[in-house]
Amino acid sequence: MLGYVASRLLYALAVVFGVSVAVFFLIRIGGDPSALFLPPEASLEQIAEFRHSMGFDRPVIVQYFEFLVRAVQGDFGQSLRYQQPAMQLVLERMPATLQLSGTALLLSLLIAVPLAITAATRRGTIIDRTGLVVSLIGQSFPTFWLAIMLILIFSEKLHWLPPSGRNGWQTLVMPSIALAAYSTAIITRLLRSSMIEVLQSDYVRTARGKGLAEGKIVFQHALRNAAIPTLTVIGLQVGALLGGAVITEEIFAYPGIGRLAIQAIANRDFTVIQAFVLLMAVLIVGINLAVDLCYGLLDPRLRKS
């Protein structure tokens, strides 16, 4: 088990390093932010002077190693636009995003798990069919469209919910629904089909033959086994939720890291983009690591291999 954990950790480290290289060089391809930062009438000399004072005129490879040395020590540099430490800007906005993604994940699970179980145990019924339609809709509606429709209906027409901001639980309702739609659909579909597969397996038939209660069969036998593939997808969905938060936050003017990232990209605020991408990489790699380790807990066979 220890060797397994160590190898996964090494792998995770390599991924984060790869991401740091990719983000650093990719964002510099389109040019540096000097001209975007100064007013339009700034002269070439003023732009050049600014560029020099910021160190953007040095070879990119030199800049990268300097960045790497500092980043390892936790210093991600100053944001050009905000004139504040870049990582601090990202971390300040992290709780808002975690709250939104967490609510969305909870919402997904609260809807998907019961819906999938009901659909799988009552195949072909109206509930099953409704579940399929709902998950099809959830998968095919683009987030931004769903978000704007929600605002149109619940804010503009019905005046039930405030359209934007982060001010109490009311402002969390629409963003988390918009964000949860896709994950809910995926998890429902996957869990339903895994459940159906498991419910048809020999040991379930044996359990039924023994005369075990149906509830016990479904929850204790079938669900545990169907959970393994679903867990992988849930792990992936956490990454998707954090990424999806970029669009959702922008539309609902929700003060999370997604909006910060979009602004930073538009402004070529290099340090903020780097801090954002690296933090996301670490988070997603961490979640995958956690999922890998959870397999081991759920399935003893994986622990040995």
Partner 1 sequence: MKRLLHAPLLGIMLSTTALFALLNPTFAQDNGTITVAQPTDALTMDPAKHSAFPTANIMFQLYDAMVTMDGEGVFVPALATEWSNPDPLTWRFKLREGVKFHNGEDFNAEAVKFTFDRALDPEFKAPYFSRIAAIKSVEIVDNYTVDIKTAKPFPTMLFSLYEASFAAMIVPPKYTAESPDALASAPVGTGPYTFVRWLKDDRVVLKANPDYWGGAPAVENVVFRPIKEVRTRIAELTSDGVDIAADIPPEDVPSLESGETKIATIASDFIYFYAFDTLKESPLQNKLVRQAINYAVDVDAIQQALLGGLGTRVALTLPTNAFGYDKAWQPYPYDPEKAKSLLAEAGYPDGFTIALTARQGRYMKDREIMDATIGFLAEVGITVEPNFLEPGVWATVSEAKGREGIIFPGWSGRDPDLVWYPILYSGQYQSYYANPALDTLLDAGRATLDPAERASIYEKAAAILKDEAPHLPLLTPPLIYGLDADLKWQPRTDSIIDLRKARFE
**Which residues would be at the binding site for partner 1 (CB under 8 A)?**
30-31, 33-44, 46-47, 50, 53, 81-84, 89, 92-93, 110-111, 113-115, 117-118, 121-122, 127, 148, 151-152, 155-156, 158-167, 170, 173, 213-215, 218, 250-253, 255-256, 259-260, 262-263, 266, 268
If the CB atoms of residues 12 and 264 are measured against partner 1, the closer one turns out to be: 264
Measured CA to CA in angstroms, residue 292 lies from 33, 235, 264, 287 at distances of: 40, 9, 33, 9
Name which of 117 and 238 has its Cβ closer to partner 1: 117
Question: Least Å distance between CB 260 and partner 1?
Answer: 7
**Exposed / middle / buried, residue 167 (Cβ in 10 Å: 0-12, 13-18, 19+):** exposed
Is the Cβ of residue 156 or residue 202 nearer to partner 1 in the bound state?
156
Report the distance separating Cα 171 and Cα 201, nearest Å.
45
Smallest separation, CB 136 to partner 1 (Å): 18
Q: At residue 256, what are phi and psi to the nearest 5 degrees?
A: -110, -170
Q: In whole angstroms, what is the distance from residue 127 CA to residue 8 CA?
A: 41
Cα(75)–Cα(251) distance, rounded to whole angstroms?
A: 31
Asked if residues 253 and 164 have their Cβ atoms less than 8 Å apart, the reply is yes
Q: Which is nearer to partner 1, 216 or 303 (CB)?
A: 216
User: Measured from the CB of residue 294, what is the shortest distance to partner 1 in angstroms?
Assistant: 23
CB of 11 to partner 1, least distance (A): 34
Least distance (Å) between residue 205 CB and partner 1: 18
Residue 65 CB, shortest distance to partner 1, in Å, is 24
Cross-strand bridge partners of residue 78: 85
User: DSSP assignment, residue 85?
Assistant: B
For tokens 């419910």, name the residue: 199
**12 neighbors 287 (Cβ within 8 angstroms):** no
Which C-beta is closer to partner 1: that of 112 or that of 285?
112
Euclidean distance between CA atoms 200 and 222, whole angstroms: 10
Give strand pairing partners of 85. 78
For residues 19 and 251, which CB has a smaller minimum distance to partner 1 in the complex? Answer: 251
**Angstrom distance (rounded) from CA 240 to CA 181:** 12
Q: Which is nearer to partner 1, 148 or 282 (CB)?
A: 148
Min CB(18)–partner 1 separation in Å = 24
DSSP 155: I
